[in-house]
Amino acid sequence: MQTDSQPKDLQNKYTSRPGILIAGPCSAETELQILNVAEALSKTGVDYMRAGIWKPRTSPGHFEGIGTQGLKWLQTASKQYGIKVATEVATAKHVEEALEHGIDMLWVGARTTVNPFAVQEIADALQGVKIPVMVKNPVNPDLSLWMGAIKRLMNAGLSTIIACHRGFNVYQKTLLRNAPLWEIPIELKRLMPEIPLICDPSHICGNRESLLKIAQKSMDLGYEGLILEVHPNPDKAWSDAAQQVTPEGFMQLLSQLRYKKQSSDDRFYNSRIQFLREEIDEIDGRLMELIAARLESARKIGQLKNQNGVAFYQHDRWTEVLSHCKQLAEQLHINENFAVELFNLLHLTALDIQGE
């Protein structure tokens, strides 16, 4: 995390840490576990220690949180080690109890953000209260639902609201527990630039191995912070064992991250990037003209098919176009998945135009 030990050129290129840093166990389990982790984290300079007290689990039969007694442990840990504490709330009663116990930050979990009634209940309970609240993305890839939850909390007069990207449940299983779908948080940042955006690599990954890659990617995309699950004995954790790291593992991960700046004062960098950006704008212009020409050809084909009573979708022709696309992608060293996705979009748009 410190840059002191880095070579001079690295000190120049990178800033030293993400803006907001939150770490702690998935769940509070015992008082000793909370005190242990609080002691370790108090030496790392994190802004908040996280610990779930009430755990919304997808399926029954798993540990659903230690409940209210855990709030006292957080309070004790906070006093003893001078660390601020954060927990998840899903109902007005949770808010009330968390506030009574002096919790410093609250978060709305992914399974709650999906429910406007629950979010409104939380917002109403927070009316006039000055406490930072973090809003995780909803489990489903729905940007409006995420923004809606943020707006409900804004309307309650909260001054510090943080958006937290924890990935999205998609049916296709991948190596990651939740698909990042980076375009959604990027669009959130574009539409709500004043809301700090942080990343939760633990819940995106579901495993320890990918944490660094996802955390680094979020830093490269200009995220303003990280929340990571840290447990004194991860393998024995009562929830989310596979994705938690020890406090040492957490520090190691932080030391491996590279935090990039938003801009540079270097004259050569600035003139070169301006030149390259003009080049990109010019290419985009040509690209759009070519796309317009392609869609115009598709429209003419549609007319011809219509006049002859021929169906718009032709399976053999599409197979031919797709294999041409893959061949071109290989020749031109373009990622095949990207090329296929682009052609799918062009094809569907052309079919829409023909159907008009």
The binding site for ligand PEP (CB under 6 A) comprises 26, 52, 109-111, 136, 166, 203
CB of 195 to ligand PEP, least distance (A): 17
CB of 189 to ligand PEP, least distance (A): 18
Enter the tokens of residue 75: 């309070």
- Sequence-separated contacts (24+) of 56-61 with Cβ below 8 Å: 56/88, 56/90, 56/109, 56/111, 56/112, 57/239, 58/111
Sequence-ordered list of residues with C-beta below 8 angstroms from that of 38, at least 6 positions apart, any chain: 49, 77, 78, 80, 81, 83
The residue among 239 and 354 lying less far from ligand PEP, judged by its C-beta, is 239
User: What does 166 bind: Mn ion, ligand PEP, none (CB cut-off 5 to 8 Å by kind)?
Assistant: ligand PEP
The H-or-E segment that residue 194 falls in is none
Enter the tokens of residue 127: 């009316």
Residue number closest to Mn ion, CB atom = 26
Dist. CA 150–CA 138, nearest whole Å:
11
Question: How many other β-carbons are positioned within 10 Å of the β-carbon of residue 250?
Answer: 26
Interface mask toward Mn ion for 219-258; x: CB under 5 A: ---------------------x------------------
From residue 178, give the alpha-carbon distance in Å to each of 64, 67, 117, 162, 305.
Answer: 20, 26, 24, 20, 43
Enter the tokens of residue 180: 């990042």
The residue among 211 and 329 lying less far from ligand PEP, judged by its C-beta, is 211
The residue among 173 and 267 lying less far from ligand PEP, judged by its C-beta, is 173
The residue among 111 and 217 lying less far from ligand PEP, judged by its C-beta, is 111
Enter the tokens of residue 17: 């840490």
CB of 229 to ligand PEP, least distance (A): 7
Enter the tokens of residue 340: 């296929």
Q: What DSSP character marks residue 157?
A: T
User: What does 110 bind: Mn ion, ligand PEP, none (CB cut-off 5 to 8 Å by kind)?
Assistant: ligand PEP
Enter the tokens of residue 22: 């939150």
Enter the tokens of residue 101: 């116990």
Taking contact as CB under 5 A, which single stretch among the options 19-27, 100-108, 323-331, 339-347 is the one that binds Mn ion? 19-27
User: What does 136 bind: ligand PEP, Mn ion, none (CB cut-off 5 to 8 Å by kind)?
Assistant: ligand PEP
Whether the Cβ atoms of residue 47 and residue 54 lie closer than 8 Å to each other: no
CB of 140 to ligand PEP, least distance (A): 12
The residue among 52 and 201 lying less far from ligand PEP, judged by its C-beta, is 52
The residue among 26 and 339 lying less far from Mn ion, judged by its C-beta, is 26
State yes or no: residue 26 binds Mn ion (CB under 5 A).
yes
Residues that bind Mn ion (CB under 5 A): 26, 240
